[in-house]
Amino acid sequence: MIIVEDLHKSFGEVKAVQGVSFRAEDGKITGLLGPNGAGKSTTLRALYTVLKPDSGTATIDGINVVEDSVGARSRIGTLPHGSGLYPHLTARENISYYAELYNMPADTIDGRVQKVIDELDINDFADRRTKGFSQGQKTKVSLARSLVHGPQNILLDEPSNGLDVMATRALRELIRGLRESGKCVLFSSHVMQEVAALCDEIVIISSGKVAMQDTPDGIRATTGCDDLEEAFVKAIDMVEVES
């Protein structure tokens, strides 16, 4: 479970995140939705402790990300924006490298790596060097890499970027599978349809603030719009009027 409370982060003059609070529960898919530059990535980066928040707290399974960043990081699997692979290593080696860095027991690594390779259906190219992989293949390997240690919390930053229809569908299936096994999935997107298709909870972020957090139905009701896209635009407008 991920709890974010009143998170602030500025880069010089730019206030990227100004008071973001939300909860992402276990066994649910929570979507961070917002236009480009709304502060989604900054929020996620604070959660996987690459950025240190100026104020506010964030906990992952009760572990404070600032006070025990290594502990918090061990509870998460991440797919950062444009997640890169090592081109000279095979897909399997890329995954194993992370498994070792996750400090998994040496004798379990090979088995676990094979398991995620099966789960993500990447056996066909698991032993090829990742140089020249398609975007879909790369995303799958990156995802396998972040899931290899079986994390309770999974943070995905725009995971469907650059994926074709088939790959996107496969990704959605996988994310639903993670929910079924009781994981906490938090992912960011600026694509309404995707969030609508997947999420149990939607957190709409605009200009560094949370405009709304609710179920898709709840959001439709609050904004009085049947169409989620309309609702999204309306919710963002509401923030901008306030500020």
Give me the residues paired with residue 206 across strands.
209
32, 43 contact by CB (below 8 A): yes
22, 210 contact by CB (below 8 A): yes
Across 111-183, the runs of DSSP E, i.e. the strands, are 153-157
Which residues 211-240 are close enough to bind other proteins by CB under 8 A? none
Site track for other proteins across 136-175, x = CB under 8 A: ------x--xx-----------------------------
Is 50 or 221 the residue whose CB approaches other proteins more closely? 50
By CB under 8 A, residue 14 contacts other proteins: no
By CB under 8 A, residue 187 contacts other proteins: no
Q: Applying CB under 8 A, which of residues 28, 31, 43, 102 lies at the interface with other proteins? A: 102
Q: Please enumerate in sequence order all residues whose Cβ is within 8 A of that of 226, keeping only pairs 6 or more positions apart, or say none.
A: 220
**Minimum CB–partner distance for residue 84 and other proteins (Å):** 3
Task: Say whether 1 sits in a helix, a strand or coil.
Answer: coil
174, 183 contact by CB (below 8 A): no
**Minimum CB–partner distance for residue 42 and other proteins (Å):** 11
Q: Applying CB under 8 A, which of residues 29, 79, 184, 219 lies at the interface with other proteins? A: 79
Buried b (16+ CB within 10 A) or exposed e, 58-71: bbbbebebeeeeee
By CB under 8 A, residue 188 contacts other proteins: no
| Residues near other proteins, by CB under 8 A | 45, 48-52, 70-71, 73-74, 76, 78-89, 93, 97-98, 100-103, 129, 142, 145-146
